[in-house]
C-alpha cells in the first residue's frame, strides 16, 4: 500500500493555478491543514482570518458573491458545530460556491471531543443545497477539489491530511454521487466511508478467505445520496447490509442507506457500525476505532451475526492486513 504525503497541499496549489478566482481562508490552523505551502506560493490569495470562524464563514460568503471561490480551511468540527448558523444562512441558503475543507474528521484526531467532528455528516445532511464529500484515500484527495469546484453550490469536505494511503488507482478519480465498487458479492453488502474503508478492506479480505461473498462499496458522496448502485447493492444482499462510518451512526452513512432501503422497499437487515450515540475522547485513531467498535473486528462480528455463522477470525490474523495509523496531532 503506497502512502502519499501532503496530497491536499499540492492539489490546492494546482487548483489555484488553474482558477485565478480561487482563494484560501484560514482560521489559524493553516499549518495543520496543509496550506502552509499555498501561503508561500500565493501570499495574495491566502487570507488569515484569525480564530474567528463565524466571521470567516460569512466573510467568505461576501467574497463568493463577488465571484471569488473561497476554500475555508480549519478542522472539520469548527466548520459545522461552531458555525452551523453561518454555514446555513450566509452560505447554504443563498447557494454560494463556498468550500468548507474540514480536516481531522471523526475520530482521526487525538485532540479529544472538542476536535472530533463526530456528528457532522448527520447534521449537515439536513442542510439544503450543500454537498458533502467524505475522503477515503489519496486518490480521492487529488480529485475532490475539482468536484467541489464544479459543483453548483456549497460543499463540505471531510478531508484527510499528511500520510494517507492510496487504495484506489490514481487514474480512477473520485466521482460525484457515484460509489466505488471494491468487491462484488451476494451474501453481504457493505458500505464504508472515510478511514473506515481501510477497516472494511481488512475485514473483507479476511472474510473472503472464509468464503463469504461481499459486495463492498466505498461511498464518498454523502449528499446527495441518490446513487442507483447503492439501491442495487442493497437489493442483492442475501443476508443483509452493513455500513461502517467515521462518526455517529445517527444521521450519517448508515442512516442514508436506511432511507434508501426503506424508500425502495428493500426488506433486509441493516447493521450500522460507527459511534453508537456517544462522544469519544482523545486518543489514537487505532485505539478509538477499537474502543468504540468501529474497526474490522466489529465488522466481522456484524457479518457473522447476519449470517448466523462464526468464522473464527482472530484479531492477530487481521493485524497482518493493517495499512497505516494516523496518530499525529
Partner 1 sequence: MPDKKFSNEEIARAATNVRKHILSLAIERGGCYLTQACSSAEIVTTLYMNILNIGPSLGNPDAQPFPGVPSAQNMDYPKGSLYNGEQTPDRDRLFVSCCHYASVIYCALAECGRISQAAIDKFNADGWNMEMIGAEHSPGFENTAGSLGQTVSIAAGTAHAYKLKGNAGKIYCMLSDGELEEGQDWECFQAAAYYHLDNFIVYADINHQQVEGWTKDVMNTEPLTDRMKAFGWEAVQINGHDIEALEQAAQTPHPGKPLMVLCDTDPAQGIPPLKSLVPKHFVRIPKDRREEFISFCEQM
The footprint of partner 1 (CB under 8 A) covers 47, 49-50, 52, 54-55, 57-63, 65-68, 85-86, 89-90, 93-95, 128-129, 152-153
Can you spell out the DSSP letters for 241-282? EEEEEEEESSSSHHHHHHHHHHHTT----EEEEEE-S----S
Which residues, in sequence order, are bridge partners of residue 240?
188
Smallest gap, in angstroms, from Cβ of residue 88 to partner 1? 8
Residue whose CB is less far from partner 1, 55 or 126: 55
Cα of 241 vs its chain's centroid, Å: 20
Q: Could you tell me where the DSSP H helices lie in 45-167?
A: 53-65, 84-85, 120-124, 138-150
Which residues, in sequence order, are bridge partners of residue 181?
217
Cα separations (Å) of 61 from 27, 94, 199, 205? 15, 9, 37, 45
Smallest gap, in angstroms, from Cβ of residue 285 to partner 1? 32
Smallest gap, in angstroms, from Cβ of residue 90 to partner 1? 5
Q: How far apart are CA 318 and CA 204, in angstroms?
A: 10
Residue whose CB is less far from partner 1, 56 or 182: 56
Residue whose CB is less far from partner 1, 62 or 317: 62
Q: How far apart are CA 212 and CA 256, in angstroms?
A: 25
Smallest gap, in angstroms, from Cβ of residue 224 to partner 1? 11
Residue whose CB is less far from partner 1, 20 or 317: 20
SS3 64: helix
Question: What sign for the dihedral angle of Cα 192, 279, 127, 132?
Answer: negative
Residue whose CB is less far from partner 1, 63 or 307: 63
Smallest gap, in angstroms, from Cβ of residue 83 to partner 1? 9
Residue whose CB is less far from partner 1, 91 or 275: 91
Buried b (16+ CB within 10 A) or exposed e, 269-285: ebbbbbbeeeebebbbb
Q: How far apart are CA 186 and CA 107, in angstroms?
A: 31
Residue whose CB is less far from partner 1, 153 or 282: 153
Smallest gap, in angstroms, from Cβ of residue 52 to partner 1? 4
Residue carrying C-alpha cell 457473522? 304
User: What does residue 128 show for φ and ψ, rounded to 5 degrees?
Assistant: -60, 155
Smallest gap, in angstroms, from Cβ of residue 103 to partner 1? 21
Q: Which of these, 1, 108, 73, 15, lies nearest to 326 by C-alpha position?
A: 108
Residue whose CB is less far from partner 1, 93 or 311: 93
What are 191's three cell numbers? Answer: 458500505
Q: Which of these, 257, 249, 239, 223, lies nearest to 127 by C-alpha position?
A: 223
Residue whose CB is less far from partner 1, 59 or 156: 59
Smallest gap, in angstroms, from Cβ of residue 85 to partner 1? 5
Smallest gap, in angstroms, from Cβ of residue 133 to partner 1? 16
Amino acid at each position: 500500500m503506497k502512502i502519499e504525503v501532503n496530497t491536499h497541499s499540492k492539489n490546492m496549489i494546482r487548483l489555484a493555478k488553474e482558477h485565478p478566482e480561487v482563494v484560501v481562508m484560514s482560521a489559524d490552523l493553516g499549518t495543520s491543514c496543509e496550506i502552509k505551502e499555498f501561503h508561500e506560493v500565493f501570499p495574495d490569495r491566502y487570507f488569515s482570518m484569525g480564530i474567528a470562524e463565524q466571521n470567516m464563514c460569512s466573510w467568505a460568503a461576501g467574497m463568493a458573491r463577488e465571484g471569488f471561490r473561497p476554500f475555508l480551511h480549519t478542522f472539520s468540527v469548527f466548520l459545522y458545530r461552531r458555525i452551523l448558523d453561518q454555514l446555513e444562512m450566509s452560505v447554504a441558503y443563498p447557494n454560494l460556491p463556498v468550500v468548507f475543507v474540514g480536516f481531522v474528521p471523526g475520530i482521526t484526531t487525538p485532540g479529544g471531543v472538542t476536535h472530533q467532528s463526530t456528528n457532522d455528516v448527520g447534521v449537515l445532511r439536513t442542510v439544503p443545497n450543500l454537498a458533502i464529500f467524505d475522503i477515503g484515500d489519496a486518490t480521492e484527495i487529488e480529485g475532490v477539489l475539482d468536484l467541489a469546484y464544479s459543483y453548483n453550490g456549497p460543499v463540505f469536505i471531510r478531508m484527510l491530511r499528511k500520510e494517507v494511503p492510496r487504495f484506489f488507482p490514481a487514474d480512477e478519480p473520485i466521482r460525484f454521487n457515484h460509489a466505488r465498487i471494491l468487491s462484488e458479492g451476494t451474501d453481504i453488502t457493505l458500505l464504508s466511508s472515510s478511514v473506515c474503508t481501510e477497516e472494511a478492506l481488512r475485514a473483507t479480505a479476511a472474510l473472503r478467505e472464509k468464503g463469504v461473498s461481499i459486495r463492498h462499496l466505498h461511498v464518498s458522496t454523502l449528499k446527495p445520496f441518490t446513487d442507483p448502485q447503492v439501491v442495487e447493492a442493497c437489493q442483492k444482499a442475501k443476508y443483509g447490509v452493513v455500513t461502517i462510518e467515521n462518526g455517529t451512526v445517527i444521521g450519517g452513512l448508515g442512516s442514508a442507506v436506511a432511507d434508501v432501503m426503506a424508500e425502495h422497499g428493500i426488506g433486509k437487515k441493516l447493521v450500522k457500525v460507527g459511534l453508537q450515540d456517544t462522544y469519544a475522547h482523545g486518543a489514537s485513531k487505532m485505539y478509538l476505532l477499537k474502543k468504540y467498535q468501529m474497526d474490522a473486528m466489529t465488522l466481522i462480528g456484524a457479518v457473522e451475526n447476519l449470517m448466523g455463522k462464526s468464522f473464527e477470525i482472530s484479531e492477530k490474523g487481521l493485524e497482518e492486513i493493517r495499512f497505516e495509523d494516523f496518530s499525529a496531532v
